[in-house]
Amino acid sequence: MDDRVAILWVYLSASPLLHLTLTVCLFVLARWLYRKCGKRSWMNPVLLTVLALVSILVITDTPYDDYFEGAKFVHFMLGPATVALAIPLYRQWSSLKRHPVALTVSLLIGSLTAAISAIVIAKIGGVSNQALISIAPKSVTTPVAMGISETLGGLPSLTAVMVILTGIVGASMGPWLLDRLNITNQMAKGLAMGVSSHGIGTGRAIYMGDVAAAFSGLAMGLNGLATTIFLPILWRWIM
């Protein structure tokens, strides 16, 4: 038995499969802890997994490129996972059709607020224009945000970091803040989570129910579209 374990470890350590296995195992453990702790917002599984992975990579002095070589399958699955969010959207389609004006106004205000607030805060902090435009699309799902950033002269790598941080903070603190503000409407909760914290927030909204998940998925997609259209115009106006 010990020989088999040793052989398996040698194979994994020499193969990119090690990092994929590590990522999946840590996430499964993080979800177990999240449920054990009563689904506390600060025990967000994505946050716990990221912290654990970063710690392991730092301790073992593993370059990120080596890690990503094995874990890129998880990155590939982001596409199908995002598409799968259409399922709760389809189930709540009748509710979505009843509120076109409220949805449109909420999405436009939320999208502009997310971009403008990021630009203003970064500008006050005295960051460079390149860093500023890299931060601006922080509330949009990662592939779209990186594309916007690169087109406008930003740093896609910085954008990806800011997007992930925004999603983790939104998924962790969003439900708590919405409860403190006495917002009980599931449609409003879903819209807020989707606009502010994209896919990670939508993943958290699924735990709130089908209505919140549907509106969060819709908000995430339309926020990406709105930001793609309006952020370049806003950026040229500012510059």
Point out the least confidently predicted range of 92-101, 160-169, 210-219: 92-101
Averaged over 220-225, what is the pLDDT? 82
pLDDT at 73 over 80: no
If we measure between CA atoms, which residue out of 86, 127, 97 comes closest to residue 221?
86
The pLDDT confidence band at residue 216, using thresholds 50, 70 and 90, is confident
Determine which of 78-92, 113-127, 215-229 has the lowest per-residue pLDDT on average: 78-92
Residue with structure tokens 């592939």? 143
pLDDT in tens, 9-36: 555 555 567 788 888 889 899 888 888 8
> In the prediction, which pLDDT does 29 show?
92
pLDDT of residue 85: 64
d(Cα 92, Cα 208) in Å, to the nearest integer?
Answer: 14
Q: Helix count (H) and strand count (E) of the chain? A: 13, 0
The C-alpha angle 37, 43, 44, rounded to 5 degrees, equals 130
Length of the chain: 239
| pLDDT at 8 (0 to 100) | 54
Average pLDDT over residues 151-155: 85
Question: What pLDDT does residue 178 have?
Answer: 87
Q: Where are the domains of the chain?
A: 1-76, 79-239
Chain centroid to CA 52: 17
Do 231 and 112 touch, CB atoms closer than 8 A?
no
What one-letter code names the amino acid at 194? G
Tell me the pLDDT tens digit for each residue of 156-195.
878 888 888 888 888 888 888 888 888 888 888 888 888 8
pLDDT of residue 82: 65
